[in-house]
A and B are shown apart, each in its own frame.
Chain A
Amino acid sequence: MVDTLSFYIFALMALGGGVMTITRRNAVHSALWLIVSLLGAAGLFLLRGAEFLFAAQIVLYIGGVVLLILYVVMLVNLDETARARQFNKQWWIALACVAVVGAEIAFVMKRGLGALALPGVAAVAPTGEGNTERVADVLFSEYMLPFEIASLLLLVAVVGAVVMAKKRV
């Protein structure tokens, strides 16, 4: 009961925040609504027992990415942009395409619903380890190479961002 209720609350946060994000005129308001949406998603992670991702979502996304976006909004003068037209001229084509994709996904999901209700796999015996421990075990054994590549990617991104944003290269 509590589970169901909190699912709907968090889902409403995620979806409502998303809709508000893409419709606001002011980019700062958009960023604040994005925080609401990301918090909703974090709550959903918690409901599905992904405590580590819940923390990572809040620290990395809300504390890192949204803050970075807000900094850039402050660096870049957006006053004129806020007064300009917000949606491009092809918006109705875009909406039609999205409607087609949505209908397609709905059709596939409806047809495959039987295959989705896989029985009995979810009931896994608790091993006494926490979620963070299990994630770390898998991350540092099976996914060691991708982990290292991700760290390299982040390094390249940092250097690239600095080079891009510099006045004179």
Chain B
Amino acid sequence: MHPVTNVHYMVLSVALLLVGTIGVLTRRNIVIILMSIELILNAVNINLVAFSHHFGDVHGQVFAIFVIAVAAAETTVALGILIALFRNKETVLADEVDLLKW
């Protein structure tokens, strides 16, 4: 078997990013769209950690910590909005939320 290089990690990261993007663009359930966003952010984190190891300093890992913190904040607010939305519209399907459509 070949030793694992940075390119392996990059390919994995790109694949995970694309899977997450497909989830965001095609699913109707807002909860699952949020999970797909987590997948995308995780792909970014894998890339950051791989390059941090590659260059032998920890700045990439510090960045990944910030990504995790911002992802947590984003999910919290999004789920709050989702609960408010469900109370008013009784739906969690993204394409049924069309209050601003004329």
Q: Interface on A for B, CB 8 Å cutoff?
A: 1, 3-5, 7, 11, 14-15, 18-19, 21-22, 24, 27, 30-31, 34, 37-38, 41, 44-45, 47-50, 52-53, 56-57, 60-61, 64-65, 68-69, 72-73, 75-78, 81, 84-91, 94-95, 97-98, 101-102, 105-106, 109, 113, 116-118, 121-124, 131, 134-135, 138-139, 142-143, 146, 150, 153-154, 156-158, 160-165, 167
Taken together as a complex, chains A and B put the C-alpha atoms of A11 and B16 apart, in Å, by 10
Within 8 A of A (CB), among B8-24: 8-12, 14-16, 18-23
Report, as a range, how many residues of chain B touch the other chain: 35 or more
Which residues of A lie under 8 Å from residue B81 when comparing CB positions? 164
Q: Are B79 and A68 in contact (CB under 8 A)?
A: yes
Q: Are A146 and B20 in contact (CB under 8 A)?
A: no
Q: Are B83 and A76 in contact (CB under 8 A)?
A: yes
Q: Are A65 and B72 in contact (CB under 8 A)?
A: yes
Specify the chain B residue showing the minimal Cβ separation from A59. B68
For A60, give its contact among B26, B28, B68, B84 (CB under 8 Å): B68
